[in-house]
Amino acid sequence: MSIHPSAIVDPAAQIAADVAIGPYAVIGSGARIDGGCVLLSHVIMEGDVQLGANNLVGHGAILGAPPQDIGFLSEMRSGVTIGQNNRIREYCTIHRGAIAESRTVIGDDNFLMAGAHVGHNCVITDGVIIANNCLLGGHVRIDERAFIGGATTLHQNMHVGRLVMAQGSSAFGKDIPPFLLAAERNYVFGVNQIGLKRAGFSSSDRDEIKRAFKLLYRSGLNTRQALEAAGQTDFGPLGREFFAFVANAKKRGILAYRYGAERTE
């Protein structure tokens, strides 16, 4: 274990033998840090924070601070769970759950760039990239391998589907169905063709997603009618996944389509 002399580490913290902790870090009593983690200078871990193996936490990042929720009571027990192989760059903030016994959860192999904020009770799954200065309100869920461009804001209680590509400096308050390109304020612009190719989706897979996209957004049907039509259409697993997401987007609804701006051919 390598702990800089200026770091403050509570004796009750559970720290694996090969963890490195940099100058002026503050590690509280509720911290659990698994093997291979590197915490750079001025990192703060406050409250119940579980940090899996082989994570890098950049300078000045704060993990487990109280949520920014006026209903939160200081005596509530909640926490943060972070998986393995994540890169959490400098000055990121990840707040603990705002409900008693709840947690903010980050999975494996994610990359949170400098200044990203993850609000209380968010769930970030695996392989997600969140670029610089993004803001995630409470209870946001981001599914596998989504990319959120820099300085983008996500309203509380929204859901981002897997392999979504969201343009930087955008703002979203509705759910973003999987496999799509999203930009500006609550618009989708088409299918994330490049991302799907990079993820190994075959031409037939991409064609099925385009077919689902066109039924939902370019058929002239409203969402309810498109869901009914999808139920009578011979979609494979990807088309069914797409429409299952849409059917479950009841709290906030889904993004609208900006006509004439996308290319899926």
Q: Tens digit of pLDDT per residue, the chain (265 long)?
A: 899 999 999 999 999 999 999 999 999 999 999 999 999 999 999 999 999 999 999 999 999 999 999 999 999 999 999 999 999 999 999 999 999 999 999 999 999 999 999 999 999 999 999 999 999 999 999 999 999 999 999 999 999 999 999 999 999 999 999 999 999 999 999 999 999 999 999 999 999 999 999 999 999 999 999 999 999 999 999 999 999 999 999 888 999 998 765 544 3
The partner residues of 33 in beta bridges, in order of sequence, read 15, 51
User: In terms of domains, do 30 and 130 share one?
Assistant: yes
Contact 6, 20 (CB under 8 A): no
On whether the CB atoms of residues 33 and 39 are closer than 8 A, the answer is yes
Does a structural domain hold residue 113? yes
Which tokens sit at 181? 């390109």
Residues 92 and 8 grouped into a single domain: yes
User: Are 28 and 93 part of one and the same domain?
Assistant: yes
pLDDT computed for residue 172 by the predictor: 98
Note the pLDDT of residue 265: 38
Q: How many residues does the chain have?
A: 265
pLDDT at residue 91, rounded to an integer: 98
- Summarize the chain as % helix, strand, coil (round to 5): 15, 30, 55
Domain range enclosing 207 = 196-257
What's the pLDDT score for residue 261? 58
Read off the tokens for 57.
């936490």
Same domain (yes/no): 225, 113: no
The answer to whether the CB of 71 falls within 8 A of the CB of 98 is: yes
171 within some domain: no
* CATH number of the domain bearing residue 134: 2.160.10.10
Distance CA 140, CA 121 (A): 7
Residue 73 resides in a domain = yes
The answer to whether residue 186 sits within a structural domain is no
pLDDT at position 264: 43
Distance of CA 253 to the CA centre of its chain: 18
Alpha-carbon span 81 to 63, nearest angstrom = 10
CATH number (domain holding residue 214):
1.20.1180.10
Burial status of residue 92 (CB atoms within 10 A of its CB: 0-12, 13-18, 19 or more): buried
Tally of structural domains, the chain: 2
Please name which of 52, 14, 8 lies closest in space to residue 34, comparing C-alpha atoms: 52
Residues 7 and 137 in one domain: yes
